[in-house]
Amino acid sequence: MQTIFAQGPPLHSSLEKDNSQPATYTPIPLEIPAHLRHLDYKVTDSGEIRKIVYRGAWQIFRRYPILGTGLETFAYSYYAFRPQDHNWVSEWDFLYNKAHNELLNYAANSGAFGLLSYLSIFIVLAFITLKTIWQPQTKSETACLLIGINAGLLALFISNFFGFSTVVVQVLLYLRS
């Protein structure tokens, strides 16, 4: 059994102690349960955990392919499809409320309908701007601006692909569209 020591004030009340003596702190031994000791030494790589969560999100999508499980229900639905490998990572007891991949999150929560709706935003915007850029009457300044805006849109898409969306990212995305 591994033991660590915590520093803390004495357990008796300050009213009962002799005020002429300075306060002393004694170490209190704390026992770490055996099933938690490995967490101090090995933290699972974030990429490995993401792959496991991705697999669970894909299983949710396969079970509910058309409309998904409902908006913002990943935290509830993930535990029914949680891969067994998730029990052996250092974050085994964490609550996952997002799939850590916005595309898989949309697929699990909204199904193919929601995922295709989300992707259609990017496809339509890219099509419209590319069509505008290739027109002969488009000025070079406008073309450069549209290329820059599309590059920013692509960066937001990549950010959402490798992580989950935050409020700021969604505001930037919808301000663009």
State the pLDDT at residue 59.
Answer: 96
Q: How many CB atoms lie within 10 A of CB 101?
A: 21
Question: Is this model's pTM higher than 0.85 or not?
Answer: no
pLDDT bracket for residue 1 (50, 70, 90):
very low
Least confident segment among 7-21, 35-49, 82-96, 143-157 = 7-21
pLDDT tens figures, 81-126: 999 888 888 888 888 888 888 899 999 999 999 999 989 988 888 8
CA–CA gap between residue 109 and residue 97 (Å, rounded): 11
- Contact assessment for residue 71 and residue 113, using Cβ atoms and an 8 Å cutoff: no
Phi, psi angle pair for 92, to nearest 5°: -65, -25
- pLDDT of residue 19 exceeding 80, the answer is no
